[in-house]
Amino acid sequence: MNRIYTQADWIDRARAVLPAAGFGNFDASVVIARGDGSHVWDEDGNEYVDYLIGSGPMLLGHGHPEVMEAVLEQLPKGMTFFANNAKGIELAEAIVEAVPCCEQVRFVTSGGEADMYAIRLARAYTGKPKILKFEGGYHGMSAEAQMSLAPSKQVNFPTPVPDSAGIPQGVADEVLIAPFNDLEAVASLLGEHHDIAAIIVEPLQRIIPAQPGFLQGLRDLCDAHGVLLIFDEIVTGFRLAYGGAQERYGVTPDICTLGKIIGGGFPLAALGASAEIMAHFDKAVVGADKWLMQLGTLSGNPVASAAGLKTMEVLRRAGQYERLRNLGQTLMDFQSAALTEHGIAHRICGDPTLFDIYFTDCDPVDYRTAKHADPKINEVWNTTLRANGVFKSPGKLYPSLALTGDDLDLTKAAFQRAARAVSDDRSTAM
């Protein structure tokens, strides 16, 4: 008889072979067995409404029938080739048609890889070494991206703080850090440093919205100083709107990176720009000295491309983004009502397509203001939500188009219980 493994068994097995018993992404005390539509189940059979959705890619939900059909049609034809394939070319065409800054794209496997190449591409095009990024901005796991992502100590701008061991000082010397939503600080740095290749920014930094005029201000400053503007749209691409943050906010960068949704749940990402900038990937055009080498075993994978193409086709249908925003706004309203009823100070931060709560009475505008007055409140909130069937990150809630009325009812009840738990915990602590 085959043994049935419990979640605890799987955690024990993971502890033996995985550092910190996990993949490094999420709470290692949860082992997911399967997903279907808007729900996931752990290895003990506990069922949850899924607001993590793979950290964003599963905008249509798990196992969407049309995406599954597209994948199953491709599988017998081949899983990977390390060569051009029709599905990858079709996906590139669809991205170029959708995303304002993209005349051409290059595929990679992960968002972090796309951001790394975008930084390198900006340096190749401008011939300048420095990169300006914003404190708290997430751009993957490259050495440059790991500067002041989540610094535990505050230092004076523009000094970077490495978030990881193993990064040499030479990397820090080429990265400048500015506070998000502060055009004056950016203008000062651009005026002082004339060797900046690019500014890289999340148009929605984690869940902190850009203040009115900030993104256009970055565009204007970059134009004035001969600096490239990179939008990291790994999260916002095809989420905030079909054309991403560029469409939603009406600001076009020089380079953008895309991931998550364009792979339909499979490993795929891309970077795109004008043909002039992207020419640095073509040695025959720019010559060996200016050529940017880029290789990847799974880049443009046909199965991922097929899944991404079908996902994008579904998203183009009338009413999809209106429905997504309505779902997100409903969830925002549920949260606010539950917390307000119990007199709990909070700010719901983000966009209806991606948001969460800061337990504070201050408006978060940058990394240093985006924090909880008491982190324990957030822990109680999220722990109670999971105990009541809501699965989410401690700092983000991703709505999906798979959500049903029953899911919303369950989630509303979970928000009410979580607000009560926070209120009770505060009363006990007094």
What does the alpha-carbon distance between residue 407 and residue 292 come to, in Å, rounded to a whole number? 47
Closest CA to 335 of 375, 284, 378, 292: 378
Residue 12 catalytic? no
Tell me, letter by letter, the H, E, C secondary structure of the chain.
CCCCCCHHHHHHHHHHHCHHHCCCCCCCCCCEEEEEECEEEECCCCEEEECCHHHCCCCCCECCHHHHHHHHHHHHHCCCCCCCCHHHHHHHHHHHHHCCCCCEEEEECCHHHHHHHHHHHHHHHHCCCEEEEECCCCCCCCCCCCECCCCCCCCCCCCCCECCCCCCHHHHCCEEEECCCCHHHHHHHHHHCCCEEEEEECCEECCEECCCCHHHHHHHHHHHHCCEEEEEECCCECCCECCHHHHHHCCCCCEEEECHHHHCCCCCEEEEECHHHHHHHCHHHHCCCCCCCCCCCCCCCHHHHHHHHHHHHHHCCCCHHHHHHHHHHHHHHHHHHHHHHCCCCCEEEEECCEEEEECCCCCCCCCCCCCCCCHHHHHHHHHHHHHCCEECCCCCECCCCCCCHHHHHHHHHHHHHHHHHHHHHHHHHC
Residue 371 catalytic? no
Residue 430 structure tokens: 């007094």
* Residue 136 backbone phi and psi in degrees, to 5: 90, -10
Residue 138 catalytic? yes
Q: How far is CA 306 from CA 80, 103, 220, 265, 294, in A?
A: 12, 21, 38, 11, 22
Angular region, 180: left φ>0, alpha ψ -120 to 50, beta rest: beta
**Contact present, 189 and 196 (Cβ < 8 Å):** yes
| Candidates 138, 249, 321, 367; catalytic one | 138
| Candidates 232, 351, 356, 407; catalytic one | 232
| Candidates 87, 128, 133, 260; catalytic one | 260
**Contact present, 269 and 257 (Cβ < 8 Å):** yes
The catalytic residue positions are 138, 232, 260
